[in-house]
Amino acid sequence: MRRVVVTGMGIICPLGAGVDTVWQRLVEAQSGIGAVTAFDSRDLPSRIAGQVPAAALPGPQAEENRAGQFAMVAAQAAIEDAGWRPVGPEAEEMAGICLGSGCGRLKALHAHAQQHHGIPGGLAALPFPEAAMIHELACEVARRFDLRGPRRAVSTACSSGAHAIGDAARMIACGDATVMLAGGAEAAICELGMAGFAATRALSSAFNDRPAEASRPWDRARDGFVMAEGAAMVLLEEYEQARRRGAPIHAELAGYGMSGDAHHPTAPAEGHAGAYRAMAHALRRGGLAPAEVQYINAHGTSTPLGDDLEIEAVERLFGDAAAGLAMSSTKSATGHMLGAAGAAEAIFAILALRDGIAPPTLNLDAPSRRTVIDRVARTAQRRPIRAVLSNSFGFGGTNASLLFRAA
């Protein structure tokens, strides 16, 4: 199997656009969460969200293709960071894309349904909007950058971005491609998206007057996740090719683990056994023992059940090594970007590895569970970091864990 490395990164999220800008704000413990401005949310129980700042988007904002616009910004940045473009038919045919999204162009689909509501013939006469296909997001980026190799769209709820990166790495490892653009994009902050998640009672509603305090993983006062939007993309490359062309190598994607709970539509299985298996598979693929990992970017959504179960799974896997481990949830600053979360957090894990900095968990004032794991409460920490895990666990019990190390 061929080695796979990360040579480019791009991100746009509630903390802004650009890897350096976002990372600095994250390390400085800034929050990107505020009151919803995208629509009138006064009738919803949750009226806060992590929205991409208008100034972060180049040119006019395309409201009904916001996910596509985010994906394009992140993809362009990742390609420029890697200093890569396909030159000639052969290079184009060995370069592909794997893009994840939980909801796709949700606002476009909602607007389309509203526009045609009540037409003669009912649903049978409703034309199908091309924009409704999550795959079209991948197609749009592929057309823009002449990516004629493998093309996949991944929709595994909140694990979509992480699964997209892991699946893309396997395509390179198996020889189906030499370069893959991979990550996730999400733009679900609209009436349909917010109302839908509110109906499941998954969203925070106790901090509408204090938005920056709403996302508080592992804290006793947590009451649900905060919806967010954005996109993150990495350029994955076969190691020998990257080395030959003198590419900047940010990290090696050493392991990728997956699992399914087969348990419940939203709740994780007892003890978060699926999370345990995903992390264990990633470590085994990478040939590392738990004690060789110094930092985990947790899924940590700020939900009453999932947060503490993730700690339980990590403690079970790491055993005595848990005492030397740092684990933080960057969703405390960004909110939960759903299908883009795993890709953004993979980038944060890579940056932790690069700079030797564990980013903080904001709002962790009164932990609901004791643990020997350092959850990096409120303030970033400098520490030696040689290998990192990034966890993503989605509704329906779909789990992914990515292992990165220095190349």
Catalytic residue among 103, 158, 174, 190: 158
Catalytic residue list contains 174: no
3-state secondary structure the chain: CCCEEEEEEEEEECCEECHHHHHHHHHCCCCCEEECCCCCCCCCCCCEEECCCHHHCCCCCCHHHHHHHHHHHHHHHHHHHHCCCCCCHHHHHCEEEEEECCCCCHHHHHHHHHHCCCCCCHHHHCCCCHHHCHHHHHHHHHHHHCCCCCEEEECCHHHHHHHHHHHHHHHHHCCCCCEEEEEEEECCCCHHHHHHHHHCCCECCCCCCCHHHCCCCCECCCCCECEECEEEEEEEEEHHHHHHCCCCCCEEEEEEEEEECCCCCCCCCHHHHHHHHHHHHHHHHHCCCHHHCCEEECCCCCCCCHHHHHHHHHHHHHHHHHHHCEEECCHHHHCECHHHHHHHHHHHHHHHHHHCEECCECCCCCECCCCCCECCECCCEECCCCEEEEEEEECCCEEEEEEEECC
Active site residue ranges: 158
